[in-house]
Every structure is written in structure tokens, then in C-alpha cells.
Amino acid sequence: MSIEDIVSRALDEDVGSGDITTELCVPADAGAVGRFIAREPIVVAGLEVLPLLFDHVEIEIGETLATVRGPARQLLTHERVALNFLQRMSGIATLTRKYVDAVAGTRCRILDTRKTTPGLRLLEKAAVKAGGATNHRMGLYDAVLIKNNHITAAGGVTAALARVKNANVPVEIEVRTRAELNEALAAGATHLLLDNLNPAEAREWINHIKGRATVELSGGITLENVRAYAEAGADYVSVGALTHSARAVDINFRLQLE
């Protein structure tokens, strides 16, 4: 789904057969200017949707994020959809930056996950990048991630890895025990996911791996403990909260007639 499709669906959902309040209250020939204003410190994301909603957009730097001009009816009808995207995406970018800053100076990179709002993954992952983190796979189609249920269904770690040998995409496997870890390494795994370890356990496992594979940690990771996981030696830490728990930030829209 493209950004254009996402924005079009959002408008269809909100406007439906027409914005009756605006059509009744606002003259058809009235022109206006609107300003999107940040009311708290944020990392801005989502400005790319504005040209899909307004005819004339000027991106700015500072408290005023953007200025839009056009028919007053258009500005009023599209205001809420624009704010929903900006507030949501900037909230993700702002939270992401906090995680990125928390691991600054380590080699660890912050990853997002597939725990996104249905239909909004493209925009939410763009917001993660705006916050300075790295996108994990976009969906089920662009990388192999063998998790515990796949291992069970495939008949074990070795069997699962053998089945994806010629996948021609990145391959990662989750291991739950030291036995599975050793089996995965013996089978040639180059990217390991270690889930639900505490920082001390993660350090122990990573020391055992000794650079034989790239390591991603996940599960129970918060702003308060993410640095401890990074300092345990992880190459990556994946955080579902970036997209499933980010707070919408406070952005205001102010309109004036021209």
C-alpha cells in the first residue's frame, strides 16, 4: 500500500459523503492559511503527507512545522486527517529518538518490529527512521525470521535452517535455550534473536557466541534498561513499543482567513 493510498483511505473514512459542517458554515470562495504548530519539543515526522492533503504547503523549521494555503473549506476538511498523521508519526519519531539517545556511544542499533497499526506500517516505519532507528523487515515477505513456533513446526533448529538455506533474503533465527543456541551456530546461523533475557544473561550468551553471529535482543526492553542491554554487547535491540505504545504528540492547527 502506498502513502497515497493510506491518505486517501483516511480521507474516505473521515469525510464520507461530505463535511457538512464546513459546507454549511464556510463560503465556497473563502481562502485561508493554516499553520501546524508544535506545542511541545518533538522530533517531527509525517510532513510528507501534507502535499497529499493541501494544494500549497510550505515546510518550516521551528515551532511552526508547516504552513498551508488554499480554500478554507479544504483546509478545514483535511485538518483532522493531517493532524492525526503528524501527531502519530511525530510521537513515534520522538519516542524512537529517546531510545536511540539512550544507547548512544555503544555499537547497538535500535530496531522496530511488525507491531504496527494495521494499514499504517509504511508511515510508522518511516517515522522510526526519522527518529534515528533502523527498520527491521517490512513484512513477512522480505526476510526470514524463524521463531519458536516455526522451529516446532519445522522439526527443530537444524531442520528449520536447512529449509531456508537458499532463501536469498536475510535469515534470522530465535533461540530459546543454550542447546538451541549451540545447535543454531553449528548449523551455520549468522543472525540470532535472543528473547526475554535479562541484561546479565544477555551478556553471558553474547560472550559465548564470541562474534560468530550477529545478535538481536528483544523482550522486556524499556527506556530504563535499554542501555544495559546495549552494553551487554548486542548488535541490535528491537523494541515493539516504538510503534505500538508511542504517545501522540501535541500539534495544533491554527487557521486564518485571507
What is the predicted pLDDT for the residue at 205? 98
Cell of 135: 527498520
Please say whether the beta carbons of 57 and 86 come within 8 A.
no
CATH code for residues 100-244? 3.20.20.70
* Catalytic residue numbers, as ranges: 80, 115, 147, 174, 195
| Structure confidence at residue 223 (pLDDT) | 97
Q: Which spans in the chain are helix H? A: 3-15, 20-25, 72-102, 121-130, 148-154, 157-163, 178-186, 199-209, 226-231, 241-244
Reported as type and span, the H/E element at residue 217 is strand 214-218
Per-residue pLDDT, 50: 98
Q: Are 106 and 230 in contact (CB under 8 A)?
A: yes
Structure letter (DSSP) for residue 38: E
* Distance spanning both ends of the chain, measured CA to CA: 36
pLDDT at 14: 98
Domain map (residue ranges) of the chain: 3-97+247-257, 100-244
- The CATH architecture that domain 3-97+247-257 belongs to is Alpha-Beta Complex (3.90)
Report the pLDDT value the prediction gives residue 47, as an integer from 0 to 100: 97
Of 147, 209, 154, 153, give the one whose Cα is nearest residue 178.
209
The pTM for the full model equals: 0.95
pLDDT in tens, the chain (258 residues): 899 999 999 999 999 999 999 999 999 999 999 999 999 999 999 999 999 999 999 999 899 999 999 999 999 999 999 999 999 999 999 999 999 999 999 999 999 999 999 999 999 999 999 999 999 999 999 999 999 999 999 999 999 999 999 999 999 999 999 999 999 999 999 999 999 999 999 999 999 999 999 999 999 999 999 999 999 999 999 999 999 999 999 999 999 998
